[in-house]
Amino acid sequence: MAMMAMGAASWAPIPAPARAAAAFYPGRDLAAARRRRGAAAAARRPFVFTPRAVSDSRSSQTCLDPDASTSVLGIILGGGAGTRLYPLTKKRAKPAVPLGANYRLIDIPVSNCLNSNVSKIYVLTQFNSASLNRHLSRAYGNNISGYKNEGFVEVLAAQQSPENPNWFQGTADAVRQYLWLFEEHNVMEFLILAGDHLYRMDYQKFIQAHRETDADITVAALPMDEERATAFGLMKIDDEGRIIEFAEKPKGEKLKSMMVDTTILGLDTERAKELPYIASMGIYVFSKDVMLKLLRQNFPAANDFGSEVIPGATEIGMRVQAYLYDGYWEDIGTIEAFYNANLGITKKPVPDFSFYDRSAAIYTQPRYLPPSKVLDADVTDSVIGEGCVIRHCTINHSVVGLRSCISDGAVIEDSLLMGADYYETETDKKALSETGGIPIGIGKNAHIRKAIIDKNARIGENVKIINVDNIQEASRETDGYFIKSGIVTVIKDALIPSGTVI
C-alpha cells in the first residue's frame, strides 16, 4: 500500500530575530530612509544593478534593512465572485476553497508571508466571506502577535461609505477603498498578492530586488514557452529588467514581438531558449508613496492593477521592474485547474507542489483530529487527510480530505474528496438509516472516477459518478452536481440517492 498521510502544520509564534544597532526603529521616516539608501547605493556603485543577482532561488541570501516584519504590509486580494470555480464557490469565497486534503487556498499566500517574515497581513474580500473569516480567525487570530511583534492577519470586507458608495470594482479599487487604513502603517512597501494561486515563494528576495533596483513597482514574472504564453498577460523588458511594454493574451506577430532575453532575469542560456516569454503573476511590490500617488492622483478611476495602473505607471515614466520566479505556480481559477493542482500533489516521484518542505511550511487551522484509520483497504498514489475512516475499499490516484468516511466496496479513482466539516455520531447514523436517510461520506459499493466531491456530501450506496456519457459541460444544480471540462463536481451538502448513475 503506497499512501501518504498528510498532517497540517499549525502556525506557532516565531521569535523575532535580533536587530543590529543600525536596524529599523519605530517612528523612523521610512520614505526618507529609502531615498537615503538609494542615494548611498548609487554612490557606491557606478553601474546599474541587474535583477539577475536577486532572482528567486534557494542559494541567494536576503538581508533586508529594515526587515520585512516592520517595513512591509501584505495585502491579499480575495478575488471576485469566483464564477469559474462554481459550484465550489457557491457557499464560500474563492480563497476559502479547500485544498490538498487539509488546507484552504488562503493558507498559501498567508504561509508565504509568514515564512518571509511579513507578519502584517490584510485579506480583502466581498463574496461569501463567512467561512474565510472563520478559518483565518481560528488559524492565525491569536498566534502571530507575540511580545513586541505587531503581527496580524485581518479580513477587510467590502463596505459602502459616503466616499465609496460602490462595492470593490477590481483589484486597484479594492486597495484604494482601504488606502486610508493602509497609509496609517509606517511601512516602506505594500506587497500585493492574490488569494487563489498555488506556489511557494520567498517574498524577502522579491522585496530585496525591489529595493536594490530602486524600483517604484516590481512585478513577479513567470517564464514560459510559446504554447502557454497566449493565455497570459505578457511583458517586455529592456536589458536592465525594466518593463517597457505589456500585451494581454497576444497571438500571431504580436506574440512574436513579446519575446525577451530571459537570461537578463537570471535564467541559464538553455532554459532561456525554451522559455522566451515572461508573464505577470499578479503579484506586486509597490513603494508606499508610489501606491498612494498612483491610486489617488494619477489614476483615481482605475479599477485594475494589471490592465490599468501598472501599464499606466510605465507610460508616465515610473520604474517598473520585472522579478523572475522560476518555480511551480498555478492560478486556480477554473474547475479544471483546481482539479489538476490537487491531483498534482499525488504525482511521483516528485509532486508538482509539496506540502512537506520543512523550511517553508504551509500553515493552517489546527483541528486536533485523530490519525486516519485505514481498515483492509487498497490505497495507491494518494494523499489522505486527517481524521478519515476508510474501510475495505480501493483508492487510486486521489486526494481524500479530512474527516472523510468511505464505506465497504467503494472505488475512488482520479478524484478529489473534500471530506466533512463534522462527524456524525453513531446515533445520528442509526436515526438516518431508520428513516431512509444517507450519512455523510461515500456509501457502500459506490464508484467515483474523475470527480470532485465537496464537503458534507452524502453519496448513497451503489452510486456511480463516472460520467458514463463523457459529457463535458452540464448544469444539474437541482440534482446536486455540475460537469465542467468533463469533471463531475458534487455540490457541498448535496445528497446523491442510492443507485444513482452520473
pLDDT digits (tens, 9 = 90+) for 202-225: 999 999 999 999 999 999 999 999
Which pLDDT belongs to residue 393? 97
- Domain map (residue ranges) of the chain: 66-344, 371-494
Classify domain 371-494 at the CATH class level.
mainly beta
The answer to whether 243 and 237 have CB atoms below 8 angstroms apart is: yes
Summarize the confidence of residues 57-65 as an average pLDDT: 62
State mean pLDDT over 384-395: 96
Per-residue pLDDT tens digits for 336-379: 999 999 999 999 888 999 998 888 999 999 999 999 999 999 99
| Average confidence (pLDDT) over 239-266 | 90
For 305-343, give one letter per residue: b (16+ CB within 10 A) or e.
bbbbbbbbbbeeebbbbbbbbbebbbbbbebebbbebbb
Residue 55 has pLDDT above 60, yes or no: no
Q: What is the pLDDT of residue 184?
A: 93
Determine if residue 72 is left, alpha or beta; phi over 0 gives left, psi from -120 to 50 gives alpha, anything else beta.
beta
Is pLDDT at 48 greater than 90 in this prediction?
no
Q: Positive or negative CA dihedral for 23, 28, 31, 36?
A: negative
The whole-number pLDDT of residue 423 equals 94
**In CATH, what is the architecture of 66-344?**
Alpha-Beta Complex (3.90)
| pLDDT interval class at 163 (50, 70, 90) | low
Q: Looking at residue 145, what is its pLDDT? A: 55
Q: 73-105 pLDDT, tens per residue? A: 999 998 777 788 999 999 888 899 999 999 999
pLDDT-derived band at 165 (thresholds 50, 70, 90) equals: low
pLDDT tier at 387, thresholds 50, 70, 90? very high
pLDDT at 143: 60
pLDDT > 90? residue 416? yes
Taking residues 467-483, report their average pLDDT. Answer: 94
For residue range 7-16, list pLDDT tens digits in order.
445 444 433 3
